[in-house]
Structure 1
């Protein structure tokens, strides 16, 4: 049990790094990206070039630590279902691959906005339009990655239930959040106006579900199973 708690708390520490760096990168993106306004977006990138560059690195680091999170959770939970645990790892690896490739769009926007050669080649308005296009592509690229970032929470919740190491309410909350992520992606692509209305509720759901898991891992680690529960799982 002590070794399981150490694994859980290690996963929680990695998860905390993902949460902090991911939140920082998201806040910076929200500050510079103005959908539909090329001039404002380009001006924001220039004015906050250092922050944009730091957020680029933060996103790459948090994506790397997300792999560490799922590898640690695999070690902790694979006994509850190897195929489910493998699916969890695969979903995270796909999400991380998309996120890392998608970051090239942010780097491209930073280069175009801050290097005068692009304005000389495309004109000021042309370079601003290119900056907005790259930020648009990054925005939608994140939505694509969100499919798999949502999917991994479902097997995580299922493993949490099967293992008995986490409260059932927490496990079910993760599974509901998984469906919420997928719903958000569909709405963002199909009905953006409805997505804007529903998004605050979904973001609250995501924050509660993943925040609860993060702090449970850090503070409690795993549940101490009763002898009867241990016997059932061993069988």
Structure 2
């Protein structure tokens, strides 16, 4: 197996880890614990399933570390296609990582509120629930901010895939379109309170989902086997 093919397979494996851990921490755990219209219900869910909440934090940390490792491996794989665009892709990911880790502190603050006897004794139940929900709101506001970079990095990544000559152009197109899907989602959530309840909010994320799942599976299963590696590209 060639070095390029090994790098591609590693990128696919890291992408799969990123997707699985991201789905667990950003979708599965919140669906079990969060009730945004009821602070009391959310408080009870978290206190009764504290291990699941902690596993969600671990999953989030694993997601961000996988994202960092993926970007570094993809830079190695795709920089021969166009070093400038590969560098932009890497920088966008590197900017998002500290934002994501700092944002995770809000979940640790929830653990502090629930685990320190002095808070439990000095705050009444409603105050404690409201303080917890405030930190969770801060956390999900931070996730929305991170989505900007989760979208932006797909534009140079998709371009590199499209121009590579050893990865499918169609997947590169889906990735580039997916960039704008993330940005539209951010603006919609930020500017329009009922955006998430519209059919458009589901539709706009489809190209990015196809592109990311598709390139993950392609890299993992196909690698670069049977595809000619480009010697040089200045485009």
Q: TM-score, normalised by structure 1?
A: 0.92
Q: How far did 1:32 drift?
A: 1.6
Q: Aligned equivalents of 2:233 and 2:94: distance in 1?
A: 29
1:216 and 2:218 aligned? yes
Listed one character per residue, the Cα deviations across residues 92-122 of structure 1 (whole Å, up to 9, x for unaligned) are 1122211111111112113213444323222
Q: Aligned equivalents of 2:19 and 2:93: distance in 1?
A: 15
Aligned counterpart, 2:6: 6
- Secondary structure at the counterpart of residue 166 of structure 1: coil
Aligned counterpart, 2:111: 110
RMSD, matched Cα: 2.0
Q: Aligned equivalents of 1:174 and 1:151: distance in 2?
A: 10
Aligned counterpart, 2:16: 16
Aligned counterpart, 1:49: 50
Q: Aligned equivalents of 2:196 and 2:156: distance in 1?
A: 25
- Tell me if structure 2 keeps the 8 A contact 1:91–1:152: yes
- Tell me if structure 2 keeps the 8 A contact 1:106–1:135: yes
Alignment of 1:184-199 (within 5 A): 184-197=185-198, 198-199=200-201
Aligned length: 233
Which is worse superposed, 34-43 or 180-189?
34-43
Listed one character per residue, the Cα deviations across residues 132-170 of structure 1 (whole Å, up to 9, x for unaligned) are 001111111101001001111110011112221211110
Aligned counterpart, 2:25: 25
Unpaired runs of at least 5, structure 2? none
Q: How far did 1:201 drift?
A: 2.0
Q: Aligned equivalents of 1:83 and 1:174: distance in 2?
A: 18
- Tell me if structure 1 keeps the 8 A contact 2:93–2:149: yes
Aligned counterpart, 1:58: 59
Q: Aligned equivalents of 1:196 and 1:177: distance in 2?
A: 20
- Indicate the structure with greater helix content: 1
Listed one character per residue, the Cα deviations across residues 25-66 of structure 1 (whole Å, up to 9, x for unaligned) are 121123222224211111111011001111101111121111
Aligned counterpart, 1:76: 77
Q: How far did 1:22 drift?
A: 1.3
- Tell me if structure 2 keeps the 8 A contact 1:39–1:128: yes
2:202 pairs with one of 196, 200, 203: 200
Aligned counterpart, 1:101: 102
Unpaired runs of at least 5, structure 1? none
- Secondary structure at the counterpart of residue 144 of structure 1: helix
- Secondary structure at the counterpart of residue 192 of structure 1: coil
- Tell me if structure 2 keeps the 8 A contact 1:33–1:41: yes
